Structure 1
């Protein structure tokens, strides 16, 4: 019987002393140093043997299942379509031929039995200090089941979840997300649901920008547009943004790293508008790529208090940090 290997960091057989992120179905572009590597045993048998090998120097995964399409869409501010007619086109997968090296293993009795090398089997070796996105310091598995924590395994952080918020299992953007549990009909689109507060965590799109300040200032406009202007399918759930005002722009300490925060007050054609915020900071994993946490809070009496943005930001911790457990239970919505 084979079992799917959970998302996590596993040795990259094509890059010595390096781990690559397996998202549960395919290898990604994220890597980090494998600081306490344990030699992988040839011919490893077990439930992970059905995974594709990480290609040398990384490339497209060799046999990954296409990612599932979420059932609904998140509109600006976290809106979810009530009815979404989707036409799913056929996806043509081109297989990449891989030359498999075979290692002849002498087991001591000189029987000359042959076994595939780790690159041939394609099965990432299970490692207690690095599997499932944990740190090489030997921390345990991330507390994904803790309702008070939102876990971003890919970027190695946890965020405190305010009381009354939820962690949806799927979103159209497929990024780590939490939002207010209560939804309402979007003021500019009666066919959509919107949410008074939404927070997402992702890897920064601006790969050519190195400073947290530059990343935050470049991202805030996209954060505002995706929350209160046109959504992913072009709908205007709030009749679009009519104006914005920058209310904050300053350095901030996040998860022990120096980051930068930018906050806008946006006004919309329908509804009270809201506040959007981008917090950018270097990841503690791998090449320290920038992490972006986006906030979208409705203005007006129904929106979450702005201090919740600050509380969530100050509560961001590296996965496995001893102070991260249960932080979110003290945050009022």
Structure 2
């Protein structure tokens, strides 16, 4: 005599996370979360008048229901094959995969860092070679891209520490008709800015008291023609130094005037004035196939 699948809770074929009630003939609309523990369903044993054979069948049904309920409890394993609903309706679907733990949001990649051997002026589209013994200044002069010598010495006036070499690249707003006139006007402003009082009113060099022009010429910079003027300045305190203003059109296509300002203190540990020319020769447009300068080939500082 063939056996039918006894009524009970079985894994829903379409929703593995729930169990659905099988009434012995078909699936019903009743569901519950998978793994819920309930008492075995009561089964009414038919009356004795059905005879010994029918009683034996009923006993087998009761045993199957009890065994199925026990085995379906957590840790009880799967129901025996004889107790499963028909394969067409009750084939257990694979257990759902555990949801992946959300990973931390990927931090936005940071912007590409500048080449360690150059100082980049993004606004004006140029790079300047960074000589040995120099570093990029985090703050800069007037918030412009700036590099300074790593060595420091006590400023001529006061107890502050001064870098003997400073170079700054900045946009220049000038109504002068030529780059020569722009450079001549800018070097005076650069001397006051770099050797006069700072934004806090301190004057570590005692200000500029005199100057002498030691260089003034047209020069090629980053594929453009510009002009430079160099002064030897005398300061109120200390040995003074050299100030240079180099003005040329930006290679970025705007033709905006760019002023690169130099200040080299005339102290034994200060950079030699010839280093100014080496830096000028190493200025390149950003993205130039020849690179942004040859900072590694520029000699260490030394006053000359």
Q: Name the TM tier (shorter chain).
A: 0.5 to 0.7
> Which of 213, 224, 231 is the matching residue for 2:180?
213
What is residue 130 of structure 2 aligned with on the other side?
Answer: 161
What is residue 197 of structure 1 aligned with on the other side?
Answer: 165
What is residue 248 of structure 1 aligned with on the other side?
Answer: 215
* Counterpart contact for 1:226–1:232, Cα < 8 Å: no
Secondary structure of the equivalent of 1:189?
A: coil
Q: CA RMSD in A?
A: 1.6
Give the whole-Å Cα distance in 1 for the aligned partners of 2:276 and 2:124: 20
What whole-Å deviation, never above 9, does each CA across 1:172-213 have from its counterpart, x for those lacking one? 5100000101122211122x321100000000131x224211
Which of 1 and 2 has greater Rg? 2
Report whether the alignment pairs 1:313 with 2:280.
yes
Question: Which consecutive aligned stretches of 4+ in structure 1 deviate over 6 angstroms post-superposition?
Answer: none
Assess, with a 3 A threshold, how the Cα gap between structure 1 residues 318 and 279 changes in structure 2: closer, same or farther.
Answer: same
* Counterpart contact for 2:282–2:293, Cα < 8 Å: no
* Counterpart contact for 2:250–2:256, Cα < 8 Å: yes
Secondary structure of the equivalent of 1:173?
A: helix
* Counterpart contact for 2:240–2:266, Cα < 8 Å: yes
Assess, with a 3 A threshold, how the Cα gap between structure 1 residues 184 and 300 changes in structure 2: closer, same or farther.
Answer: closer
The TM-score with structure 2 as length reference comes to 0.60
Assess, with a 3 A threshold, how the Cα gap between structure 1 residues 325 and 281 changes in structure 2: closer, same or farther.
Answer: closer
> Which of 175, 184, 204 is the matching residue for 2:144?
175
Unaligned stretches of 5+ residues in structure 1: 1-140
- Bigger helix fraction: 2
What is residue 238 of structure 1 aligned with on the other side?
Answer: 205
Secondary structure of the equivalent of 1:220?
A: helix
What whole-Å deviation, never above 9, does each CA across 1:289-329 have from its counterpart, x for those lacking one? 10000000011322101111000001100001111256100
What whole-Å deviation, never above 9, does each CA across 1:38-69 have from its counterpart, x for those lacking one? xxxxxxxxxxxxxxxxxxxxxxxxxxxxxxxx
The TM-score with structure 1 as length reference comes to 0.55
> Which of 239, 242, 263 is the matching residue for 1:272?
239
What is residue 259 of structure 1 aligned with on the other side?
Answer: 226
Give the whole-Å Cα distance in 1 for the aligned partners of 2:113 and 2:128: 11
Give the whole-Å Cα distance in 1 for the aligned partners of 2:113 and 2:283: 15
* Counterpart contact for 1:259–1:279, Cα < 8 Å: yes
Assess, with a 3 A threshold, how the Cα gap between structure 1 residues 210 and 290 changes in structure 2: closer, same or farther.
Answer: farther
Unaligned stretches of 5+ residues in structure 2: 1-110
What is residue 64 of structure 1 aligned with on the other side?
Answer: none
Higher relative contact order, structure no. (Cα contacts within 8 Å, ≥ 6 residues apart): 1
User: Cα offset for 1:268?
Assistant: 1.1
> Which of 234, 255, 261 is the matching residue for 1:288?
255
User: Cα offset for 1:144?
Assistant: 4.2
Assess, with a 3 A threshold, how the Cα gap between structure 1 residues 300 and 194 changes in structure 2: closer, same or farther.
Answer: closer
* Counterpart contact for 2:282–2:292, Cα < 8 Å: no
What is residue 299 of structure 1 aligned with on the other side?
Answer: 266
Assess, with a 3 A threshold, how the Cα gap between structure 1 residues 326 and 313 changes in structure 2: closer, same or farther.
Answer: closer
